[in-house]
Amino acid sequence: MSQRQRVAAYGVCLDADDRLLLARAAPFLNLEGRWFLPGGGIDHGESPTEALRREIREEAGLAVAIGDLLGVLSDVRRLPDGVSLHTLRIIYAVESWSGELRAEEHGTTDAVRWFTRSELVDLPLAFYVHEVIERFT
């Protein structure tokens, strides 16, 4: 069995109305149509906070100030091609942002939106988002 590891940084971004910012996985991804926290993989030589700022700029068009480290999630999942993927997700609070919210073009996400707590109940979320909502919001 093939194994892979991925390290990624994600942001919990809540607006003044306590809405959570989420991005939707593009159709070509395994998570197609599922909503997840803005953020993603850390490039070689990049710090987690640099990666998070870059990812939110790419996925949502926002420039962000990163706040406290909220925690680190770790899980192992089998991908459709049989690869065992171990993912470390570094979760930060997003303190503030500027810019105009917009969806990423031709990227790994195809939509970005603010959601109320009640809207999250029926939303197809990436599995780890449930844990983030319970522990960090």
Beta strands in 1-137, from DSSP E residues, in sequence order? 3-12, 20-25, 35-36, 39-41, 63-78, 84-98, 109-115
CB of 111 within 8 A of CB of 23? yes
pLDDT digits (tens, 9 = 90+) for 30-81: 777 899 999 999 999 999 999 999 999 999 999 999 999 999 999 999 988 8
pTM over 0.75: yes
pLDDT interval class at 8 (50, 70, 90) = very high
Q: What would the CATH number be for the domain defined by 3-136?
A: 3.90.79.10
The total of other beta-carbon atoms located within 10 Å of residue 112's CB is 20
- Checking DSSP bridges between strand 3-12 and strand 84-98, what pairing results, if any? parallel
Q: Count other Cβ atoms within 10 Å, centred on residue 55.
A: 27
Residues above pLDDT 90, as percent of the chain? 83
